[in-house]
A = this chain, B = another copy of it.
Amino acid sequence: MTGDRDIKHMKWWGWGVDGVAFHHHDKPAFAPFVKEAVHLDLSTAQAVVPPELESLPVPVPKLTDAFAAQLVEVVGADHVHTDTLDRIVHTYGKSLRDLVRLRRAVIPRIPDVVLYPADEEQVRAIVDLAVAEDAVIIPFGGGTNISGSLEPPADETRPVLSVDLGRMNKVLDIDAESGLARIQAGTLGPDLEEQLGARGWTMGHFPDSFTHSTVGGWVATRSSGMQSDKYGDIADITRGLRLVVPGDVCVLRPLPSTATGPSVREMVLGSEGRLGIITEVTVQVHRLPEQRVIIGYLFPSWEAGLAAMQEIAASDAAPIVTRVSDANETKFSFSTSKAKPGLNLSGKIQKGLFTVLEKRGWDMSKVCLSFIGYEGAKSHVAYEKKLVKAIVGRHGGIVVGTGPGRLYDQKKFDTPYLRDFLLDRGAAGDVSETAAPWSRLMEVYDNTVAAAQRAYEEIGHPGWIMCHLSHSYHSGACLYFTFAFVHGEEDPLGEYDVVKSAIQQSFVDHGGTLSHHHAVGTEHSRWLEQDISAPGVAMINGVLGTIDPGRNFNPEKITGH
């Protein structure tokens, strides 16, 4: 029984809420697809049972009574937790590496205590106590991170405090004139959109993790949402913030722009808890639009789809979403469609359309599904759609209507459940994403697919890789890869490393960044210098070392230091 039972946590061993899971009973094309893609037979595959929490090797908290008493004095006994469940939930994020380790009871270091402060004053007291005690502080939002940003160093000998911001979950204030909302860092996506929506506003930030991630986490990891083409990445949306540092609070007032030297706002963005604890963020919010629509398109090839997105980015058009899947991801999308006519492209409608397109000369094994979104006054949506339609047409694409778009919009946050479903059945899957200039996207794509295939050969398992373009910018775009393979029993993470490393190395070798919106953490740390050069890493270490000379704040993340 805890005083923090209102804080929603995900399943400790997987994604999402208890009782919700992926199934494919109503998706007739899914099992054949999986069999072809990774040679996994779902009709015979046995699902492993989730592990028993009690079976995990959890040591006694490394916490002196005096220090524990001080912490209780700050946040109250109801908000200081040392039970196994709370500690396990706060040990990892939700990367494949995290899920495999939990399922295999690999927990070299678990936080000693989980604290739930009620406000910034309590956060300040925790920080000052922890620094005085030479303890380690790891801020925790929703726990969705997949870059290893949350785990304590394996060999950490000092007490480790996980500071969960979950009680700080309010939209504090909306400045309606400026379109600025002051939001507590621990507010989850749905909670903040509900509080904003009730007053006619939206933040417009919808990362795939939306349902379980927080605004503080988005800032700390440089998140992007599916509507970033209009609303911007979190770095654009964030106009002000408060960050608790030892003995002080870094206060950045909300400003539309400023010329105050090296940007401190852009130092806190992406700082992954290494500079302190973000307690409050002031973000841009927008009036709910009169109309919002996501439209599906098909392109005869990946190249055509990319070229269309590039032309849209350079044009007068300004859609809110631009997304195009490669042929593999398109096949995957169709395989997860339900057999319900009218709503999507499955079944008879899809067949009929494909017959028509084949007659036009399309190679249906290369077809690529695309979604483009629009918002604003109805007349504005109509204007934008017209601009985009002309560009899509120039690249051989066709409009397939709002059905697939509506489905995508409804289901976009469900994909992580699918990863658990596959992992339960022996298939390891994860995602890696990059961003690169338009001129290098095909190079990044081709080389990354080839690198993954070589890696699958190396580990001796058939594997799958698929990709979509999302988040278009004037000068380039994000390529988001999903990969999966049936892992061996002996060393699944060793095999995963081979594949994941090949993909990451291909990114930086071909003009891409190590991550577009999943941060550095520990997972991508070893590519940082290749991405931003040694002096760049030195500059980051300079900031970190100044604020946190004792390495009390989430050590080893970003720079490995």
Binding site for B on A (CB under 8 A): 175-180, 221-224, 233, 235, 239, 243, 245, 248-272, 275-276, 284, 286-287, 310, 314, 316, 318, 376-377, 380, 383, 387, 435-440, 471, 473-478, 511-520, 528, 531-536, 538-547, 558-559
A177 near B532 (CB under 8 angstroms)?
A: no
Q: How far is the CA of A269 from the CA of B275 in the complex (A)?
A: 20
Closest to A478 in B: B257
A516 contacts which chain B residues (CB < 8 A)? Answer: 257-259
Shortest distance in angstroms between A454's beta carbon and chain B's nearest beta carbon?
24
Closest to A520 in B: B261
A243 contacts which chain B residues (CB < 8 A)? Answer: 535
Given A178-B438, A256-B476, A258-B435: 14 more A-B contacts, CB < 8 Å: A177-B437, A180-B437, A243-B535, A255-B437, A255-B512, A257-B513, A259-B513, A260-B528, A264-B532, A267-B267, A284-B474, A284-B475, A316-B376, A546-B546
Q: List 28 A-B contacts (CB under 8 A).
A: A176-B439, A178-B476, A179-B314, A180-B437, A180-B475, A222-B258, A223-B259, A233-B257, A250-B532, A250-B539, A256-B478, A257-B478, A259-B516, A260-B514, A260-B528, A261-B270, A261-B519, A261-B540, A262-B275, A264-B536, A266-B266, A267-B539, A275-B539, A316-B376, A316-B377, A538-B546, A539-B546, A542-B543
Shortest distance in angstroms between A511's beta carbon and chain B's nearest beta carbon?
7
Considering residues A233, A253, A535, A558, which has the most beta carbons from chain B within 10 angstroms of its beta carbon?
A535
Q: How far is the CA of A268 from the CA of B536 in the complex (A)?
A: 10
Considering residues A176, A267, A380, A439, which has the most beta carbons from chain B within 10 angstroms of its beta carbon?
A267
A256 near B533 (CB under 8 angstroms)?
A: no
Contact partner, A175, options B254, B437, B542, Cβ 8 Å: B437
Q: Given A255-B436, A268-B262, A515-B258, decide whether A248 and B535 contact each other with a Cβ distance below 8 A.
A: yes
B256 near A263 (CB under 8 angstroms)?
A: no
A286 contacts which chain B residues (CB < 8 A)? Answer: 314, 474
B471 near A177 (CB under 8 angstroms)?
A: no
A275 contacts which chain B residues (CB < 8 A)? Answer: 262, 539
Classify the secondary structure of A's interface with B: mixed
Contact partner, A475, options B239, B380, B438, Cβ 8 Å: B239
A251 contacts which chain B residues (CB < 8 A)? Answer: 532-533, 536
A476 contacts which chain B residues (CB < 8 A)? Answer: 178, 254-257
Q: How far is the CA of A447 from the CA of B429 in the complex (A)?
A: 59
A520 contacts which chain B residues (CB < 8 A)? Answer: 259-261
A437 contacts which chain B residues (CB < 8 A)? Answer: 175, 177-178, 180, 239, 254-256
Q: How far is the CA of A177 from the CA of B435 in the complex (A)?
A: 15
The 10 nearest A-B residue pairs measured at CB: A542-B546, A266-B266, A256-B476, A256-B473, A250-B535, A178-B437, A177-B439, A222-B259, A258-B513, A264-B536
A534 contacts which chain B residues (CB < 8 A)? Answer: 248
Q: How far is the CA of A245 from the CA of B176 in the complex (A)?
A: 45
Q: How far is the CA of A535 from the CA of B515 in the complex (A)?
A: 28
B260 near A531 (CB under 8 angstroms)?
A: yes
A261 near B542 (CB under 8 angstroms)?
A: no
B543 near A545 (CB under 8 angstroms)?
A: no
Shortest distance in angstroms between A321's beta carbon and chain B's nearest beta carbon?
15
Q: Given A310-B177, A474-B179, decide whether A263 and B270 contact each other with a Cβ distance below 8 A.
A: yes
Closest to A549 in B: B542
